[in-house]
Structure 1
């Protein structure tokens, strides 16, 4: 079984400065409308954007650079509030990706584990 891990850590201030400089152009280049609306609905807008940015970077690392673009994936929360990745390019990605996101006032970190789900091996990956 092919199992790959990606991790990304980013300063929240770096995201804030980039958004302040590039505005909507940057937001819609990296994030989907759903991701932007999710972050805007939260008290700490930039922390949530940074968390989703870190998750996308971690996913790119776990899949291998050049395999997917920023907007071909969307970070959403399930009914329990756990982050999940939804791929918008049906069929291009043949792996399951589990993600975890955490953030503080200053930093956001995310981890992604990509694996192929086969009938012979179905790992149950859960993040605490």
Structure 2
């Protein structure tokens, strides 16, 4: 196996909180899949949790070499919780197409929080 790409992103929890206050459900619908929204619903740390997911999506976009452009949408990258390990990434649409072109067979992801910051690192392996 070879590393195809590495992505790192840091997101301010306060920034996402401001977007949610200003735009509410529009922000949630634009950035997160139904499954991601369901997982966050009812959590005491909902915004912090979602900020980590947002950082993870941006880190994956960097692995794919697309950034926010090239047709990859926020919901093309879905972050799942696992019961006993790191979060799992599921790709859809254009994100899946880019991963296939790069030969990516595994995406490793780590999400961390500290105060007002959420950070994520993603590694693509072929």
**Interval of TM-score (by shorter of Structure 1 and Structure 2):** 0.7 to 0.9
Q: Is the 8 A contact 2:3 2:123 kept in 1?
A: no
Runs of 4+ in 1 over 3 A off after TM superposition: none
1:77 match: 81
Q: Is the 8 A contact 1:7 1:112 kept in 2?
A: yes
Matched, 1:88 2:92: yes
Which shows bigger deviation, 66-75 or 87-96?
87-96
Instruction: Name the larger-Rg structure.
Output: 1
- Among 99, 104, 108, the residue aligned to 1:98: 108
TM-score w.r.t. the length of structure 1 is 0.82
Which shows bigger deviation, 81-90 or 8-17?
81-90
1:107 match: 117
Which shows bigger deviation, 17-26 or 72-81?
72-81
TM-score w.r.t. the length of structure 2 is 0.83
Q: How many residues align?
A: 116
Q: Is the 8 A contact 1:47 1:104 kept in 2?
A: no
Residues 51-107 of structure 1 deviation map (CA, whole Å, 9 limit, x = unaligned): 000000000011111263211121001231521101123952321211100113311
Structure 1: gaps spanning 5 or more residues: 117-128
Q: Distance in 1 between matches of 2:115 and 2:53?
A: 15
Matched, 1:37 2:18: no
Do the aligned partners of residues 58 and 77 (structure 1) sit closer, same or farther apart at CA in structure 2, a change above 3 Å counting? Answer: same
Structure 2: gaps spanning 5 or more residues: none
